Each structure stands twice: as structure tokens, then as C-alpha cells.
Structure 1
Amino acid sequence: MKIYDDKHIKNVVFVGAHNSGKTTLAETMVYEAGLINRRGSVENKNTVSDYHQIEHEKGNSVFATPLHTEWRNYKINIIDTPGLDDFIGEIISSIRVADTIVTVLNAQHGVEVGTEIIWSYIDKFHKPGLFVINQIDHPAANFEESFKSIKGLVGNNAVKIQYPLIMDGAQCIIDVLKMKMYKFSAEGWKPQKLEIPEDQKELAIQLHNELVEKAAENDEELMELFFEKGSLNEDEMRKGIKAGMLNHDLFPVFCVSALNDMGSGRLMGFIDNVAPAAADLVPEQSLNGKEIPQKTDAPTALFVFKTVHQPNLGQITFFKVKSGEVKLNDKLENTRTGETEVLNQLFIMDGNDRKPVSKLSFGDIGSTLKLKHTETNDSLCSPGSDISIKPINYPEPRMRKAVSAVNTKDEEKLNEALKKIHSQDPTVVVSFSNEARQMILACQGELHLAIIDWTLRNIYDVEANFEQPRISFRETIQRSSTANYRHKKQSGGSGQFAQVHMKIEPWFEGIEEPQGYNIRGKDEIDLAWGGKLVFYNCIVGGAIDARYLPSVMKGILEVMENGPLTGSYIRDVRVMVYDGKMHSVDSNDISFKIAGAHAFKEAFLNANPKLLEPAMELTVKVPEEMVGNVMTDLQARRAIIQGIDSKENFQILKCIVPEKELFGFSTDLRSLTKGRATFKAKFSDYQPVPNNIQKEMVGN
């Protein structure tokens, strides 16, 4: 296979809403370049990029799939991504290694919900981008409305390169950069190149001039030329358009019919000639703050952006060459683990098809098999060069479920399968809650969970149960209380004896020291589950030997690990042990541990005990016209609204919501807002449970 240098490699990612035609466009571009002999289709389940069984069953992309095409001595690496934000991890990792982001729209709908959500992530990367309005030959297509929706997304930075036209019953595309008209037959593919018709010249010239001005704005030299000549030639315009794309100030808009192969060749030509390559982008900084050299004669540095586990192949590792070049059998160091990996195989992957190569240069995307110590987000570099590339920051999960194997014999098998699923998709987070004694799976939503369930059953042969996780409550007290307990046990020989008197009180930061006690010692214990136990030795007259007090405290801590109300952890209590009795023969550590535990439990139940629940800090971004329904839903979930901000046509709701009430919120929010709202949630603190709910839970 031909090896391309960095000047002739372009990396693009196709993003956009579900059913916008990304997979079909990728298929058409590969076919147009002659790399496949027959175009597949999503309906026939034979496209290059949608090759997984689950994608055939669902009829849409689930995974981001790398493939490539070759056009006029350029190599274009394409990553075809899913259109649903449940699979945002696949989209973000692909954007991370792309040099240009191609946002595909359905001409019937323009910017859709999925496009808006994905764009909110795209914008953070500040990478060059262009728009493709697809399906222009559909009877319900509306190019102008679609273009208006793009301007609603990026403002006046959207500029038409093309617009569609029907002439003599044939689909045509007017190109205002080349100032030509492309006329297609019903079969598409190669068009006739014609002069622009007289009745379109005025509009075409107007759009051409707008493009010239926009191109000139991004380069001082071009601006001077523009003022001097009043125009720019095509090469000068290309230079200005590229500069504008690099500045994130210009977004070219194209039109195609991917299904009928109209306009894809022109789009590939633009990507070749204008779209930025890796070397055009601002050099990245490594984790140690050094600039990563963007050239082939520098030390090798690879960034792993994707991992796939296939039953018949094992682990496939996808990477981008960020510096230097990688050759077959190279030995590279993993900067995270310190392990050396040998790249015994190098491939270009086109969907499921592997094409062996001997080397890959800076800017290219490739893959290898069976690395032992490398995962997504890792950096591999020449030994001693220590080039650690900044990792991808994935969004927090929006849904949590307790997961367990239907057959308990499959628990280990389930654990291994979930490890591989997380390796393949880092937005799937698996942890074990010691407190709840449950394995917790966190993901992006109901559809994401359905795909995980399908994968477990069909790929790893494990049946799993998914259920609502147990909430980690806390218990505390609201007033002071005293208690004493005598432990006495006689069973022949030496017995057990201990008596403990104590007072307990609520503890809070800044509380004054206890009054009326002779404090002889104090222990402040930061509890592993949050909060504190403050233990005071207030014994006078030697009523209890000091050596037994640690045992009293152990007894208290045992009760605090299994509170009397719900078995939850107790927090934020202070204890004053002020009196008691002991026996010269029968007293021992176990006796005082038991006495301390019983006295503490009795005092706790008499101190107006209170249940605390975890509260989440919730931020919801919702379209203005849908705020009312979302507010009503949040109030039903006992949310406390703390603020409302505005951003463009959205309202940002900030509130505190009990974690217990957030179950099902992701699904309900999607239903209430037709998928247009997004949210983030993170732990805030523990807050008192309302009395009526506590009575239901405790039973009194």
C-alpha cells in the first residue's frame, strides 16, 4: 500500500444526527475513489463502516469506525461516528484525532437535536470544521432552511461554497468557489461541468463575493490583495478559507446526495486541497508542557484513541501518529505503565478489513494487534523521549445501575466482560460499592445500557440483571442524650464485667468544647465514609482504667458502621465517656467494647436520630420553551432550584436534588424535551431526609 507523507494525509471525522447519512457518505467516498467495486447500503447491511452485528440489527452506527479513501494523490482518513449522544465517547475520541470535523445534516431537517448536542462538544475542541447538507435530491429537502439552521449554530461564520438547483429535471450543484455548475444524471457519479446559467449568475456572483470577503478577512496579505485587486483568485481564496477554518472563523457549507453519489468527488477535492492537515494545526503540548514536534524526523509518539475487543482477533488498538513515524516491529514505551510494547503488526483498518503496512508517518491513523499493556488514552513513544500526550476527557455518566450475573457462577465472567467493555468505551464506568455491596455500572443512557446488555449476552455469553442501586444513606443525631450500660457475664472462672456512662451530642465544625466535664483526652477521627467521631475521655477518680477506653471507642465505631435506623453509616457525633465501673478480675477489653457499643446505641436512639441522604448538584441545559415542563418534573423530584442562567436559546437550571429522586431522570428528560436537553450531576453533600419519608423508611 502507498505510504503518504504528512502533507498528503487529511483526517476527517463525520459527525451529525441520527439518519443524516454519514455512513452512506463515507461508503460513497470510498466507492468513488475506486477502493471498493460495489457500494453497500445501511439497508442491505453491507457498508464498510457499519460491520458489527449490533449495527446490522439496529440499522444505525453504534461504534466509531475508521476507514480511508484515496483521492488525487491524497489519503483521506475518515472516522464514521454514531449519531446518538448515548455514544458520545465514540464521538469525542474520534474528534480528538481528527484535523477537520465534517458535520453532516439531513436536508429535510437541517440542524437537529443530535447535531446541537454533539456541537456543544465539538466547539470545545476549537478544530476546523465544515458542513455538508446531504439528501439534497429528496422531495422534502430544504437547503435554505438547513443553511439558516447552520447559521443559528455558528452565526455568520457559515459560508456557502455550493447550493443545489434543479434544471431541466436534473439535479445540479452551483459551486461559487470554482464558479461552475455540476449537472448530474439520475445515476449520479461524474457530473457534467457547465457554465453557470444566466438566471443564476447574479446570485452566484453575490455568494462568490461574500466568500472572497470572508476568505480575505483571515489573512492580512490576502486582505491587502483584496483591497488592491477587488477580488482574489481561486488559489488565494483557498488559502484564506483554510486560514479561516483554522481560526474557527469560517465554516464552508457543501451540498451532496450521498445515496445517489452526487457531489462527493467535489467534497473530497476540497478536503484534499483546502481542509487543514495535522501539520497545519497548532502543535500540541505534552503533559510536561513541551511542544510535540510535528515532523517525521522527530522521536516517535503515538496516541491511542480507541480500543476494540474482537473475539477472533483479541485487542485492536487504534492510534494517531503525533510525531515521527512508526515502523513494523518498532519497540515503543508506554508512558503510563513504563512497559515496552512491540508493534509486530501495523494496519490501516477499513471497517473490518485490515490492510498491512510497513510504516506510518506523522499525521496518519493506523492500528495494531495484541498490545499487552496499552489502553485508550495511552501514549507510546520512542524509548527515552517521554512524550505523554494529554488524554481525552470523557463526559460523566448520566445513569447508574446495579449489575449482577443472573447465574452467580458467571460473576467472574461478568467482571472480565465489563472490563473489556470499559476498555472499549471509557464512558462505561464500573465500580464496586462496599457500602451497598453491589457492582455499579454507570453509562450515558437507556440506549447505551441496552447496547451493553446486548454485548454481554451476544459477545460474552453472560446474562446480567440491571436494577436500581441501593442509596448510601447516613445517620446522625439532632440533640444530646445520655446512657449507661452494664455488661456482666459469669460462666465459671473469670467472667466479663464493664459499665460505661456516656453523653453524645451532634458534632459540627467550630463547635465549642463540652462544658462541665474534666477532659483528660480527646480523639478526632475522620471517618472513612465522611464526617467525624470526636471521642472525649472525661473519666475522673479512676472509675475506668485509661487502657480500656480504646475498647469503648471500638465498640462505638462498630455501631457507627451499622447504624440502628437503616444499617447505614453514622457520622458527625461526639461522645463524652464520663463515668463507669470496672472489676479487678473480670474486666477486660471485650467487656468494655460490648458495654461501649450498647451504651452508644441506646444514647443514639434517644438523641432524635436523623437519616441523611446524598444530594446531587444538578445542572440542566434546556431550551427556553421547554423550561416549564422540566421545572415541574424537578419539583416533583424534591429539587431545590438555586439559580437560572441564560445561554443563547437555552436556560441553565442549577439545583440540588436527592440522589434517590434522580433515577429515571435521564429517560424522562429526554422524553420531556424531545432529546434537546442535557444535564450533568455530581455529588454535593448529605442532607436531612424529610420526616415523612424517614418514617416510611424506618417504620416509626
Structure 2
Amino acid sequence: MKVYDDKHIKNVVFVGAHGSGKTTFAETMLFEAGLINRRGTVESKNTVSDFHDIEKERQTSVFATPLHTEWRNYKINIIDTPGLDDFIGEIISSIRVADTIVTVINARHGVEIGTEIIWSYIERFQKPTLFVINQIDHPTANFDESYKSLSQLVGNNVVKIQYPLKVDGAQCIVDVLKMKMYKFSPEGGKPEKLPIPEDQLEIANDLHNELVERAAENDEELLELFFEKGTLNEDEMRKGIKAGMLNHEVFPVFCISALNDMGTGRLMGFIDNVVPATADLKSIQSVEGKEIVPSKDSPTSLFVFKTFHQPNLGQVTFFKVKSGEVKVNDKLVNSRNGETEILNQLFIMDGEKRESVSKLTVGDIGATLKLKSTETSDTLSSKNFPVTIKPIKYPEPRITRATSPVEKADDEKLSDALKKIHSQDPTVVIKYSKETKQLLVGCQGELHLATISWALRNLYGVEAKFDKPKIPYRETIQRAANASYRHKKQSGGAGQFAQVHMKIEPWHEGIEEPEGFNIRGKEELDLPWGGKLVFYNCIVGGVIDLRYLPSIMKGILEVMESGPLTNSYIRDVRVMVYDGKMHAVDSNDISFKIAGAHAFKEAFLNANPKLLEPTQELVVKVPEDMVGNVMTDLQSRRSIILGIESTGNYQILKSQTPAAELYGYSTDLRSITQGRATFSSVFSSYESVPKNVQDQLVSNN
């Protein structure tokens, strides 16, 4: 394969809502460039991009798939991404390494919730972006409404390069950059280039002049030329559009029919001639503060944006060359763990097809096999240039399930498989809860969970079940209480004896010191599960030796690890040990530990104990016309509405919702809103459980 330099490599990522036609678009680009002889279709399960078995089975993209095409002496690296936000991790990592975002819009629907979710990430990364309105030849397509919805999404920085037109029943595209009309046969392909019809000249000229002005605004030299000549030529316009894209201030809009190969070649030409290449990009700062210059003469650094465990092949590692060049058998150091990796093979990947190459230069995207110590978001660099590129930040899980193997003997097998799944998709979060004694899987939604289950069964041979996770409640008290306990045991020889008197009270931040006690010592413990235990030594006259106080506290802590109401952790209590007795012979550490535990448990039960439940701060983005139904559902889940904000045609609902009430929320929200709403949640706080709920939980324990 020809090695392209940093001026002739273009990295684009296709993003867009489910059903917008990204995979079909990628397939058509490969066909136009002659890299495939026949275009596959999603329905026929034979596209280059959707090659995984689960994608063929579900007829939808699940993974981000790197591809490439070559067009007029340029190499275009394409990453085709899923459209469902359950797979947002695949989208984020792809946006991170792309130089230009190609956002595909379905002309039948315009901007959808999936588009809005993706746009929020594009805004975060501030990447050059263009929009492609697809399916313009569909009977129900509405280009004008789609463009209007784009304007509402991104503001007046969106600008038309093209618009569709029907002439004598034939599909045409008017291009106001080139001021030409492209007329397509029903089969698509190479169009006939024609002058713009007389009845469209005024519209086209107005759009052309608007484009000239927008191009001129982004470059001082072009602005001077514009004032001098009153216009710009095509090359000057390209220069200004590129500058605007790099500044994230111009978003060109194209129109195509990917299915019928209309407009694809023209868009590929625009990618070649206008969208930024690696040579146009600025240097970035490493985590250590070093400058990483995107030049082939710089020291080598690679950023790993994706890993995939492929049966019979092992781990495939996808990377972008951020600086320098990488050659076969290069030794690079992983900045996270200091391990040296040898890149024995280098590939250009097109779906499942691998093409070996001897080297890759700055800006290019490639893959290698069987790295031992490298994961997604890692940086590999030359030994003399140790740098760390800022890792990808992934969203927190939106749903969590407890998992276990159907066959107990598969425990270890399940654990190993889940580690591999997390390795290739960091939005899958695996942790073991010591408190609930459950292995928990966090992910982005029910569909995401279904793909995890499919992978476990079909790729790793593990049948797993997913259940409702136990809620990690907390126990505390509402009033003060006293208790004492005498532990006495005699069975020949030395016995056991200890007597402890204590008072317990609720603790909160800023509480005053207890009154009526002679405080000799104080110890504050930040509990591993949250909250505090504050322990006071109030012993007078040496009735209990100081050496036994740690044992009393140890007994209290053992009770706090398994509270008497629901066996949940206890938090936010202060204890004053103020009296007791000991025996010169029979008292020992174990005796005072037992006495302390029993006294604390008795006092706790007399102190009006209550349950606390974890709550989540829930943020729901929902269309205006569906707010009522979503609020009604939230209130049925014991939510406290914290606020409502407007953004475009959507409302942002913020609520504090008990974690126990969020089981199944992803599915229910999708049902209530026909998939037009999305949500995120983070832990908020522990709050009191209503009495009727507490009584039921205690009775079920």
C-alpha cells in the first residue's frame, strides 16, 4: 500500500442517530473508490463495516469499525460508529481520534435525540464538523425541515453547500460552492454536470454569496480580498471554509442518497480538498506538560483508542499515530505501566480484513496484534520521549445488574470473560460488592446489557444470568440511648469478664461535644462505607483499663458492619463509654470486645433506628410534549423534582430518585417516550427511607 504523508491523510468518523444510514454511506464510499466491487447492504448482512455476528443478527451497528478508502491521491480513514446511545463508548473513542466529524442526518426525521446526544460530545471536543443529510430521494424526505432542525441544534454556523432538487422526475443536487447541478440516474453513480436551472439561480446565488461571506470571515487575508473584489474564487472559499471548520465556527451541510449512490463522490472530493488533515492540526500537550507535535520528524507516540478480542486472533489494538512514524518491530513504552511493547505486525483494517504494512506515519490509523500490557486509552511512545496523552473519559453506567453463572463451575470463566469485555468496552464497569456479595455489571442500557449477555454466551461459552442488584442500605439512629452489658463466662481456670456502659447519639457535621461527660479521649473514624463513628473515652477512676478501649471499639465496629435492621452498614453514630467493670484475672480483650458489641447493639435498637437509602441525581432530556408523562413516572418512583430547564425543543428534568426505584428505568423511559428521551445518573446522597418502606424491608429481612 502507498504510504501517505500528513497532508494527504484525512480521518473522519461517521456519527448519527440509529437508522441515519452511516454504514450504507461507508459502504458506498468504498464502492466509489473501487475498493469493493459490489456494495453490500445491512439487510443482506454483507457490509464491510457490520461484520460481527451480533451486528448481522441484529442488523445494526454495535461496534465502531475502522475502514479506509483512497480517493484522488488522498487516504480517507473512516470510522463507522453505532447510532444507539447504549454504545456511546464506541462513539466517544472514535470522535477522540478523528480529525473531522461527519454527522449523518436522516432526511425523513431531521435531528433526533441520538443526534443531540452526539452533538454534546462534538461540542466538548470542539472538532471540525460537517453534516450530511441522507436519503434525500426517499418519498417522505424533507430537506428543508431537516436543515431547520440542524439550525436549531447548532445555531447560524450551519451553512448549505448543497440542496436537493427534482428536475423532470430526476434526483438532482445543486452545489452552491461549485455553482453546478448534478443530475443522477435512478441507479445513481457518476452524475451529469449541468448548469443550475434559471428558476434556481436566484436561490443558488444567494446561498453562494452567503457561503463567500462565511468563508471570508475566518481569515483576515480572505476578508481583505472579499472587500477588494466583492467575492472569492473557489480555492479561496475552500481555504476559508477549512479555517472556519478548524475554529469550530462553520458547519457545512451536504445532501446525499447513500443507498442509491447519489452525491457520495462529490462529498469525498470535499473531504480530500477541504476538511483538515493532520498537517493542519495544532500540537497537543501531554499529561506531563510536554508538547506533542503532529509531525513525522517528531519522536513517535501512539494513542490507543480501541481494543477488540477477536476469536482465533486474540487482542486487536487500534491506534492513531499522534507524532513521528511507527515501523514493524518498533519497541515502544506504555506510559501507564512502563512496559515495553514490540509491534511485531502493523495493519490497515477494513472491517475484518487486515492488510499488512511496514510503517504508518503521523496522522494515520492502524492496528496491531497481541500486545501484552496495553489497553484502551493507553499511550505508547519512544523510550526517549515518555509522554501520556490524556485518556478518554467515559460516561458512568446508567444501569447496573447483578450477574452470576448459570453453572457454578463457570465462576472463574465468567470473571475472565467480563474482564475482556471491559477491556474492549470501558463503559462496561465490573465490580464486586463486598457488602451485597454480588458481582455487578454496569452498562449504558438494556440493549447494551443484551450484547454483553450475547458475547458471554456466543464468544466465551458462559451462560450468565442478570438479576436485580441488592440495594446497599445504611442504618443509623434518630435519638440518644443508653445501654450496658455484662459479659461473664466461667468454665474452669481463667474465665471471661467485662462490663461496659455506654451512651450513643446521632452524629452530624458540626455537632457540639457531648455534655455531662468527663472526656478523656476522642477518636474519629471515617468509615469505609461512608459516614463516621466518633468514639469517646469518658472513663473515670480507672474502672476500665485504657488498654481495653480499642477492644470495645472493635466490637462496636463489628456490629456496624452488619446492622440489626437489615444487616446493612451502620453510619453516623457517636459513642460515649463512661462506666464499667473489670476483673484482675478474668478480664481480657475478647471479653471487652463482646461486651462492647452487645451494649452497642442494645443501645442502637433503643435509639429509634432508621434506614437510609442511596439516591441518584437523575437528569432526563425529554421532548417538550412528553414532559408530563415523564414527570408522572418519576413521581411514581418517589422522586423529588429538583428543577426543569429548556434547551431547544427539549426539557431537562433533574430529580433526586431512590436507587431502588430505578430498576428497569431505561426500558420504561424508552417505552414512555418512544426512544426520544435519554438520561444519566450519578450518586447523590443517602436519605431516610419512608416508614412504610422501612417496615417492609425489615420484615423481609
Q: TM-score range by the shorter chain?
A: over 0.9
Unaligned runs of 5+ in 1: none
Aligned to 1:465: 465
Aligned to 2:267: 267
Secondary structure at 1:249 match in 2: coil
**Residues in 2 aligned to 1:140 and 1:600: alpha-carbon distance in whole angstroms:** 72
Query: Which residues of 2 match residues 402-417 of structure 1 at below 5 A?
Result: 402-417=402-417
Q: Deviations over 1:248-274 (max 9, x none)?
A: 121111111111111111110000001
**Residues in 2 aligned to 1:39 and 1:622: alpha-carbon distance in whole angstroms:** 37
**Residues in 1 aligned to 2:463 and 2:656: alpha-carbon distance in whole angstroms:** 36
Secondary structure at 1:675 match in 2: coil
Q: Does 1:664 align with 2:664?
A: yes
Q: Which moved more, 1:112-121 or 1:620-629?
A: 620-629
**Residues in 2 aligned to 1:432 and 1:366: alpha-carbon distance in whole angstroms:** 35
**Residues in 2 aligned to 1:507 and 1:159: alpha-carbon distance in whole angstroms:** 60
Q: Residue 397 of structure 2 contacts residue 443 of structure 2 at CA under 8 Å; is this kept in 1?
A: yes
**Residues in 2 aligned to 1:567 and 1:294: alpha-carbon distance in whole angstroms:** 57
Query: Which residues of 2 match residues 104-143 of structure 1 at below 5 A?
Result: 104-143=104-143
Query: Which residues of 2 match residues 536-575 of structure 1 at below 5 A?
Result: 536-575=536-575
- Under a length normalisation based on structure 1, what TM-score does the superposition of the two structures give? 0.98
Aligned to 1:46: 46
Q: Deviations over 1:148-181 (max 9, x none)?
A: 2221212222221112222233222211111112
Aligned to 1:492: 492
Amino acid across the alignment from 2:606: N
Q: Deviations over 1:328-378 (max 9, x none)?
A: 111111111111111100000000000011111111100000001100000
Aligned to 1:56: 56
Residue 612 of structure 1 deviates from its aligned partner by 1.1
Q: Does 1:679 align with 2:679?
A: yes
Query: Which residues of 2 match residues 526-545 of structure 1 at below 5 A?
Result: 526-545=526-545
Q: Does 1:591 align with 2:577?
A: no
Q: Does 1:229 align with 2:229?
A: yes
Aligned to 1:378: 378
Query: Which residues of 2 match residues 69-84 of structure 1 at below 5 A?
Result: 69-84=69-84
Residue 238 of structure 1 deviates from its aligned partner by 0.6
Amino acid across the alignment from 1:318: F
Amino acid across the alignment from 2:549: L
Aligned to 2:363: 363
Aligned to 1:191: 191
Secondary structure at 1:524 match in 2: strand
**Residues in 2 aligned to 1:587 and 1:282: alpha-carbon distance in whole angstroms:** 73
Q: Residue 16 of structure 1 contacts residue 118 of structure 1 at CA under 8 Å; is this kept in 2?
A: yes
Q: Deviations over 1:289-329 (max 9, x none)?
A: 23211110110010000001001110000000111111111
Q: Does 1:248 align with 2:248?
A: yes
Q: Does 1:25 align with 2:25?
A: yes
Q: Does 1:421 align with 2:432?
A: no
Q: Residue 117 of structure 1 contacts residue 676 of structure 1 at CA under 8 Å; is this kept in 2?
A: no
Amino acid across the alignment from 1:233: N
Amino acid across the alignment from 1:297: D
Q: Residue 565 of structure 2 contacts residue 698 of structure 2 at CA under 8 Å; is this kept in 1?
A: yes
Query: Which residues of 2 match residues 681-696 of structure 1 at below 5 A?
Result: 681-696=681-696
**Residues in 1 aligned to 2:132 and 2:523: alpha-carbon distance in whole angstroms:** 67
Q: Which moved more, 1:107-116 or 1:334-343?
A: 107-116
**Residues in 1 aligned to 2:16 and 2:580: alpha-carbon distance in whole angstroms:** 73
Amino acid across the alignment from 2:149: S
Query: Which residues of 2 match residues 275-424 of structure 1 at below 5 A?
Result: 275-424=275-424
**Residues in 2 aligned to 1:192 and 1:91: alpha-carbon distance in whole angstroms:** 36
Residue 544 of structure 1 deviates from its aligned partner by 2.2
Secondary structure at 1:6 match in 2: coil
Aligned to 2:606: 606
Residue 122 of structure 1 deviates from its aligned partner by 1.6
Q: Does 1:631 align with 2:631?
A: yes
**Residues in 1 aligned to 2:210 and 2:217: alpha-carbon distance in whole angstroms:** 11
**Residues in 2 aligned to 1:458 and 1:426: alpha-carbon distance in whole angstroms:** 20
Q: Residue 161 of structure 2 contacts residue 254 of structure 2 at CA under 8 Å; is this kept in 1?
A: yes
Q: Does 1:450 align with 2:450?
A: yes
Amino acid across the alignment from 2:168: D
Residue 9 of structure 1 deviates from its aligned partner by 0.4
Aligned to 1:437: 437
Amino acid across the alignment from 1:535: F
Amino acid across the alignment from 1:51: F
Secondary structure at 2:292 match in 1: coil
Q: Deviations over 1:469-507 (max 9, x none)?
A: 111111111111111112122222222222222221112
Secondary structure at 1:266 match in 2: helix
Q: Which moved more, 1:320-329 or 1:632-641?
A: 632-641
**Residues in 1 aligned to 2:413 and 2:518: alpha-carbon distance in whole angstroms:** 59
**Residues in 1 aligned to 2:162 and 2:517: alpha-carbon distance in whole angstroms:** 86
Amino acid across the alignment from 2:456: L
Q: Does 1:174 align with 2:140?
A: no
Q: Which moved more, 1:623-632 or 1:22-31?
A: 623-632
Secondary structure at 2:440 match in 1: strand
**Residues in 2 aligned to 1:528 and 1:164: alpha-carbon distance in whole angstroms:** 62
**Residues in 1 aligned to 2:260 and 2:681: alpha-carbon distance in whole angstroms:** 44
Unaligned runs of 5+ in 2: none
Q: Deviations over 1:97-116 (max 9, x none)?
A: 11111111122222222212
Query: Which residues of 2 match residues 141-160 of structure 1 at below 5 A?
Result: 141-160=141-160
Residue 70 of structure 1 deviates from its aligned partner by 0.4
- Under a length normalisation based on structure 2, what TM-score does the superposition of the two structures give? 0.97
Q: Which moved more, 1:644-653 or 1:46-55?
A: 644-653
Amino acid across the alignment from 1:231: T
Q: Residue 282 of structure 2 contacts residue 294 of structure 2 at CA under 8 Å; is this kept in 1?
A: no
Residue 523 of structure 1 deviates from its aligned partner by 2.2
Amino acid across the alignment from 1:228: E
Amino acid across the alignment from 2:5: D
Q: Which moved more, 1:248-257 or 1:352-361?
A: 248-257
Secondary structure at 1:20 match in 2: coil
Secondary structure at 1:7 match in 2: coil
Amino acid across the alignment from 2:689: V
Aligned to 1:216: 216
Aligned to 2:3: 3
Amino acid across the alignment from 1:282: K
Query: Which residues of 2 match residues 484-523 of structure 1 at below 5 A?
Result: 484-523=484-523
**Residues in 2 aligned to 1:645 and 1:258: alpha-carbon distance in whole angstroms:** 37
**Residues in 2 aligned to 1:605 and 1:137: alpha-carbon distance in whole angstroms:** 72
**Residues in 1 aligned to 2:654 and 2:20: alpha-carbon distance in whole angstroms:** 33
Aligned to 1:621: 621
Identity %: 77
Residue 512 of structure 1 deviates from its aligned partner by 2.4
Secondary structure at 2:284 match in 1: coil
Q: Residue 180 of structure 2 contacts residue 196 of structure 2 at CA under 8 Å; is this kept in 1?
A: yes
Aligned to 1:201: 201
Secondary structure at 2:26 match in 1: helix
Q: Deviations over 1:610-665 (max 9, x none)?
A: 11111222223333332222222222222222333333333333332221122222
Aligned to 1:478: 478
Residue 189 of structure 1 deviates from its aligned partner by 1.1
**Residues in 1 aligned to 2:458 and 2:384: alpha-carbon distance in whole angstroms:** 43
**Residues in 2 aligned to 1:220 and 1:316: alpha-carbon distance in whole angstroms:** 46
Q: Residue 627 of structure 2 contacts residue 651 of structure 2 at CA under 8 Å; is this kept in 1?
A: yes
Q: Residue 332 of structure 2 contacts residue 383 of structure 2 at CA under 8 Å; is this kept in 1?
A: yes
**Residues in 1 aligned to 2:173 and 2:539: alpha-carbon distance in whole angstroms:** 93
**Residues in 2 aligned to 1:506 and 1:191: alpha-carbon distance in whole angstroms:** 79
**Residues in 2 aligned to 1:646 and 1:202: alpha-carbon distance in whole angstroms:** 37
**Residues in 2 aligned to 1:495 and 1:612: alpha-carbon distance in whole angstroms:** 40
Secondary structure at 2:348 match in 1: strand
* RMSD value, Cα: 1.5
Secondary structure at 1:620 match in 2: strand
Residue 18 of structure 1 deviates from its aligned partner by 1.2
Residue 230 of structure 1 deviates from its aligned partner by 1.4
Amino acid across the alignment from 1:333: V
**Residues in 1 aligned to 2:591 and 2:505: alpha-carbon distance in whole angstroms:** 24
Amino acid across the alignment from 1:249: E
Amino acid across the alignment from 2:622: V
**Residues in 2 aligned to 1:201 and 1:510: alpha-carbon distance in whole angstroms:** 75
Q: Residue 104 of structure 1 contacts residue 131 of structure 1 at CA under 8 Å; is this kept in 2?
A: yes
Q: Residue 497 of structure 2 contacts residue 591 of structure 2 at CA under 8 Å; is this kept in 1?
A: yes
Amino acid across the alignment from 1:306: K
Q: Residue 13 of structure 2 contacts residue 79 of structure 2 at CA under 8 Å; is this kept in 1?
A: yes
Report the count of equivalent residues.
Answer: 700
